[in-house]
Amino acid sequence: MSADLQFTVEPNTKPASDDQRASILANPGFGQNFSDHMAIATWTKEQGWHDARITAFGPLELSPATAVFHYAQSIFEGMKAYRHPDDSIHAFRPEANARRFNRSAQRLALPELPEEAFLDAVRRVVTIDKDWVPAGGESSLYLRPVMFGSDPYLGVRPSAQVTFLVMASPAGSYFPNGVKPVRIWLSEEYTRAAPGGTGAAKAAGNYAASLVAQAEAVEQGCDQVAFLDAIERKWLEELGGMNLYFVLDDNSVVTPELSGTILEGITRDSILKLVTDLGHTVTERKISIDEWRDGAASGRIREVFACGTAAVITPVASLKWHGGEVQVGDGEAGPVTAAVRTALLDVQYGRAADTHNWMTRI
Ligand code: PLP
Ligand code: COI
């Protein structure tokens, strides 16, 4: 049944008006507005994946006993569709999201979704809501596939019923100040993920666990929180919702290696290739927090940037911790950060040749 999961289309009978949509698209922000439709499908042990529909975006009715509310058996993805100058619409590496979704599903004891069904759901939502893909600037249609245990049962076991959804949200900049360099707060008390845990999965609980540290960052006047490894509290892992890159004074580029406890970012992976294209050597290795602090102070580290689907490439201005703060470079976006950012956006927005075959036309 799941191999040829077909999404039937139930058009929204009360879509947003042209004026409502235009006013949202003029200033989309991030994650606050949603297009007219969503994809939804159900899995049960008996039937596998079934009841796949494209339907009006709107509330779900769920029992208070629904598994996900109690045991957080939930995963998600984040990806974007872009409007190109000729008005065609393209998704960035959607098959990489489909694969990661299934890796996350496996870790959270959720059923795998055939990659074809994931891609079909995304394609259909974007197609039916193509007018919701913003044009211009750095705006896009952010796509949020989710899978969660929807069985109304309080026993602790993998949910016998699971729901898959894809929603779409027109998006501008993730950070309210756009590409202004961000201040990073070092979480010394809280860690995000431990070996053997769920850190490499895009699991909802990872984000729940990061929120108190993110709130501390905001109290400290910072934009995002950086986490260290849970064992030695020494090695840089990633931010709450982004990976990290460093540019050294010999123009080489380094990023924390995949430790099994950080998310394998698709933007991170793309940047490994882009910086090589731009002529830099790039290394994935362990980076200690002292290397960041000392390197920023001495000038060995020239630039730091964060990367992710929502954040794109965001320059880092400084690292702050209890008792100190060190600026990176002159606190502004450096030239390598700017060049990588332009290279990535040019491919995503169809202004440069897609030499790595990353774009999928919808
Ligand atoms: N790390 C975390 C914890 C994230 O939530 C994200 C965002 O998706 C990333 C890294 C970057 O991943 P990607 O580039 O695939 O969006
Ligand atoms: C994304 O970049 O897609 C994420 O899921 C991260 C989150 C901070 C919005």
Ligand 2 atom index nearest CA of 76 = 5
Q: What is the mean pLDDT of the chain?
A: 96
Query: What is the distance of C-alpha 301 from the center of its chain?
Result: 26
* Confidence class for position 1, pLDDT limits 50, 70, 90: very low
At residue 3, the pLDDT reads: 55
Tell me the pairing of strands 301-308 and 8-9: unpaired
Q: Is 318 in the pocket of ligand 1 (CB under 6 A)?
A: no
Assembly ipTM: 0.98
Ligand nearest to the CA of 192: 1
Q: Is 223 in the pocket of ligand 1 (CB under 6 A)?
A: no
Give DSSP secondary structure letters for 200-255.
TS-BHHHHHHHHHHHHHHHHTT-SEEEEE-TTTS-BEEEESS-EEEEEETTS-EEE
Q: Is the pLDDT assigned to residue 260 strictly greater than 60?
A: yes
pLDDT digits (tens, 9 = 90+) for 143-163: 999 999 999 999 999 999 999
At residue 4, the pLDDT reads: 80
Query: What is the distance of C-alpha 6 from the center of its chain?
Result: 26
Q: Is the pLDDT assigned to residue 136 strictly greater than 90?
A: no
Distance CA 315, CA 178 (A): 11
Global confidence as pTM: 0.95
Residue 231 burial (C-beta neighbours within 10 Å; 0-12, 13-18, 19+): exposed
At residue 173, the pLDDT reads: 77
Ligand nearest to the CA of 261: 1
- Tell me, in angstroms, the distance from the centre of ligand 2 to residue 310's CA: 5
At residue 259, the pLDDT reads: 86
Q: Tell me which residues have their CB closer than 6 angstroms to ligand 2.
A: 78, 241, 308-310
